[in-house]
Amino acid sequence: MPETHINFTTSPYYQRWRRIKDEIAEYSVIAGGLGVIGAIVLIFFYLLYVVFPLFLAAEAHSITRYNVPAQQSGKTLLLANEEQNEVGVRFTDQGFAIFFAIETGKIIHRQKIALPEKHKLTSFTQGNPASGIVAYGLDNGQVVVAKHEYKITYPNDVRLITPTISYPLGKSPLNLKATDQAITQLAIKVDEEQTSIVAKTADNHIVFSHFKKQESLFDEESSLEQTSTLLDISATEISDILVDKEHRNLYLASSSGRLSFFDISKKTKPMIRQHLNVVEAGLKLTKITFLNGDLSLLVGDSSGTVSQWSMVRDEQGRPALKNIRQFKVSENPITQIKAEERRKGFVTVDTTGSVGVYHSTSERELIKKQVSNQSAVALSLSPRANHFMLETTDKQLHVWSLENEHPEVSLRSLWQEVWYESYSKADYVWQSSSASNDFEPKMSLTPLVFGTLKASFYTMLVAIPLSLMGAIYTAYFMAPSLRGYVKPSIEMMGALPTVILGFLAGLWLAPLIEIYLAGILSLLIIVPIAVMLFAYSWQYLPKKIHQKIPEGWDALILLPVILLASWFAFTLNTPIESLFFEGDLQAWLNKEFGISYDQRNSLVVGIAMGIAVIPTIFSITEDAIFSVPKHLTIGSLALGATPWQTMTKVVLLTASPGIFSAIMIGFGRAVGETMIVLMATGNTPVMDLSVFEGMRTLSANIAVEMPESEVDSTHYRVLFLAALVLFLFTFVFNTLAEIIRQRLREKYSSL
């Protein structure tokens, strides 16, 4: 019986199943590619979604308007409100505190301040707005200090705010001792330990009184130790008095714009620091107040300009006021300025009832609204800066809401030099947090981008020469049997966790480099010289020795030379320092060139990250060179070219697209590296090209600060903006790299 052979490859069932598998594979590949693209697009839009609110415009909306509550109780001296924007208070010139519901204007509580009945109220001032302190100056030279407080309870789970007036220094008036004249101008600062009061009297003297709390050893009562003195200055033209919250600086201003700055840290002997003009000639000073933190003064003038004067150090290192920025608010005189309690923003009102909201550091005009056609009598800004009240001359109280979540962010504050308070000049600064509540976040991304590029530069400076030269030798000159060991070994280095490399770099490599800095730098000279000398000597050795080394194994005989040269360089560390650098290279660099040395610096990062990047660049480059068609190299050699000429003129050009891809992939790895930079550098956001200084990169900054940032806060969103910048940075560079790679492939594909 004849044998029958069935050819399954031609059967309809087999062909149908093969088409199904081909289609499954095709659509799977398409789905995978589209999935990758979709994931990248989703990441981009999510980052954009979180970042977008940073650049939304601020808004203001009118809530209500009504007649000023309890007008019969006197004219308004101060308007204020509590944090929840439910209860407002109006202090009047008849000594009343009128508490009212902000939404309706209904009077909640009306309380008379404990002022002596026989004496008249002659002046009034507000202390730190956050403290709720107010002070009344009397016609006999005494001062009464009061405080408005708000007790919150929840009866039946409903919030109830109960306003009260307390007297932190007692109900009895404080006697300034140095005068019994009527007080016409007054300034006060109160904290738990001390109180400073500065007053202008009717006879044109300036009285400074300091009260320090003294605790008793035998009971819980405390007493006030008072120091009073008269300032040696004519107070005839003084119209405004300001004392900072640290009880160190006193400012006396006149309507003509003349400002005198005193140091009152020595309580018994105030010392004049500076006299200056804070408005231009011919203009009038119309309003002056502190910016939050009391480090800067906001000065409004009759031309509608608000200038910020900040405390800096002059050339002699002494504190001095300097005009660091100006805002052209209006064409009309400024009548009211209120600074935010928790940020560096402020609100202004001019004579026409136009209200403006600004942020000092970002130099942004956030809101400009015509609230009323009448001039302002009093302005109140809520503690959260989300609400303000304006009383106008027509006895109306205007209540507005503010939506102003991220005023401190602008393109200028993110990317340009900014003059921060207490800084001697404008600078790029990243410093997002501090122990002080008055701290101003400094969120310039420029130092982080600079640090990212700096870390990548030194990484590639180490990785590119070693990986490219190693790949060229391994792929073209090395014996195949030896290549079978070398290539997998180097590729296995890429599997080493970066946290391990960062750990070793920070705890072992950084101290080693600090100790042997001169020896390590001498490696760059000694090792190449040793290799060249050995290569020169090798050609004069007998041919029998040459023949014992198989072709392609030459690199092995260089290993002892490199190791001995490295050991020799390390042994020369101390003699080199003693002979050329006065025994200490780090100190010599600082003395001669002003170059400081940080233990965890760019050199450490470059070496550690270079080791992490080398396997990637090496592997891709080696594959690209090894994949060059053999007929090209054989043809070149047959035409009389040397192996090195063939390598440089044929192989490298043909493999250039792959080599370029390897370099760009390695660069992308260096840009996004986090753990090595985090552990091997000091994470200081400084802009210094020195290889002996550290840096802070975008990725490391995100890793460090994201866990501590408040969700949806400005800090949180700026960190997402840093992630978006990093995303766009790598996307743009990879796109450009792909374009260049394709052009290289088209150019050399004909070889």
Rounded Cα gap, residues 392 and 76, in angstroms: 10
pLDDT category at 595 given cuts 50, 70, 90 is confident
Order the strands of the 87-92 sheet from edge to edge: 76-81, 87-92, 96-101, 107-112
**H or E, element range at 76:** strand 76-81
More confident residue, 219 or 107: 107
DSSP state of 686: -
pLDDT greater than 60 at residue 290:
yes
Mean pLDDT of 262-287: 85
Torsion of CA 371, 374, 375, 378, to 10 degrees: -60
Lowest-pLDDT choice from 430-439, 451-460, 491-500, 703-712: 430-439
pLDDT at 7: 55
Q: For residues 619 and 494, is the Cβ–Cβ distance under 8 A?
A: yes
DSSP state of 57: P
Q: Which of 194-198, 594-598, 640-644 has the highest mean pLDDT?
A: 194-198
pLDDT at 646: 86
Rounded Cα gap, residues 568 and 401, in angstroms: 74
pLDDT at 559: 87
Describe the crossing of helices 602-626 and 446-472 by its angle, rounded to 10 degrees: 40
pLDDT greater than 60 at residue 116:
yes
More confident residue, 715 or 4: 715
- Residues with Cβ within 8 Å of 102's Cβ and at least 6 positions away in sequence, in order, are 81, 85, 86, 87, 88, 387, 389, 399
Rounded Cα gap, residues 5 and 658, in angstroms: 48
Lowest-pLDDT choice from 432-436, 515-519, 605-609, 736-740: 432-436
Mean pLDDT of 430-451: 80
DSSP-assigned beta bridge partners for residue 366: none
Rounded Cα gap, residues 84 and 359, in angstroms: 22
pLDDT at 492: 87
Residue 409 CA from chain centroid, whole number:
11
Place of tokens 């290192």: 317
Q: Alpha helices of 473-516 — where are they, by DSSP H?
A: 480-493, 498-504, 510-515
pLDDT at 212: 85
pLDDT at 10: 63
- Which residue in 427, 460, 430 sits closest to 442, CA to CA? 430
pLDDT category at 319 given cuts 50, 70, 90 is confident
pLDDT at 219: 52
Q: Alpha helices of 246-342 — where are they, by DSSP H?
A: none
| 743, amino acid identity | R
Helix (H, G, I), strand (E, B) or coil at 23: helix
Helix (H, G, I), strand (E, B) or coil at 417: coil
More confident residue, 335 or 546: 335
Lowest-pLDDT choice from 57-71, 296-310, 545-559, 590-604: 545-559
pLDDT, tens only, 235-250: 788 889 999 888 888 9
Rounded Cα gap, residues 235 and 184, in angstroms: 11
More confident residue, 729 or 548: 729
DSSP-assigned beta bridge partners for residue 124: 136
- Which residue in 235, 216, 233, 217 sits closest to 225, CA to CA? 216
DSSP state of 9: G
Q: For residues 694 and 598, is the Cβ–Cβ distance under 8 A?
A: yes
Helix (H, G, I), strand (E, B) or coil at 362: coil
pLDDT, tens only, 376-427: 899 999 999 899 999 999 999 999 999 988 898 888 889 998 988 888 888 8
DSSP E strand stretches across 417-541: 430-431, 442-443
Q: For residues 474 and 651, is the Cβ–Cβ distance under 8 A?
A: no
Mean pLDDT of the chain: 86
Mean pLDDT of 268-296: 87
pLDDT greater than 90 at residue 598:
no
Rounded Cα gap, residues 53 and 477, in angstroms: 58
pLDDT at 457: 92
pLDDT greater than 90 at residue 3:
no
DSSP-assigned beta bridge partners for residue 380: 389
Rounded Cα gap, residues 184 and 136, in angstroms: 10
Does domain 446-510+598-748 match CATH 2.40.50.100? no
pLDDT at 317: 72
Q: Which of 5-14, 66-75, 494-503 has the highest mean pLDDT?
A: 66-75
- Which residue in 99, 103, 97 sits closest to 162, CA to CA? 99
Rounded Cα gap, residues 417 and 447, in angstroms: 11
Question: Phi and psi (nearest 5°) for 391?
Answer: -100, 130
Mean pLDDT of 528-539: 87
How does strand 160-166 pair with strand 183-190? unpaired
- Which residue in 125, 168, 122 sits closest to 146, CA to CA? 168
pLDDT, tens only, 67-96: 999 889 889 999 999 999 999 999 998 989
Can you give the pTM of this predicted structure? 0.85
pLDDT at 101: 92
How does strand 121-126 pair with strand 107-112? unpaired
Q: How many other CB atoms sit within 10 Å of the CB of residue 451?
A: 29
pLDDT category at 164 given cuts 50, 70, 90 is very high
DSSP state of 388: E
Q: What percent of the chain has pLDDT over 90?
A: 25
pLDDT at 732: 84
Residue 684 CA from chain centroid, whole number:
11
Rounded Cα gap, residues 456 and 462, in angstroms: 10
Q: How many other CB atoms sit within 10 Å of the CB of residue 674?
A: 18
Rounded Cα gap, residues 607 and 623, in angstroms: 24
Q: What percent of the chain has pLDDT over 70?
A: 96
Mean pLDDT of 334-359: 91
- Which residue in 652, 452, 479, 629 sits closest to 549, CA to CA? 479
Mean pLDDT of 129-136: 90
pLDDT at 448: 92
pLDDT greater than 90 at residue 724:
yes
More confident residue, 112 or 552: 112
pLDDT category at 1 given cuts 50, 70, 90 is very low
Q: For residues 509 and 607, is the Cβ–Cβ distance under 8 A?
A: yes
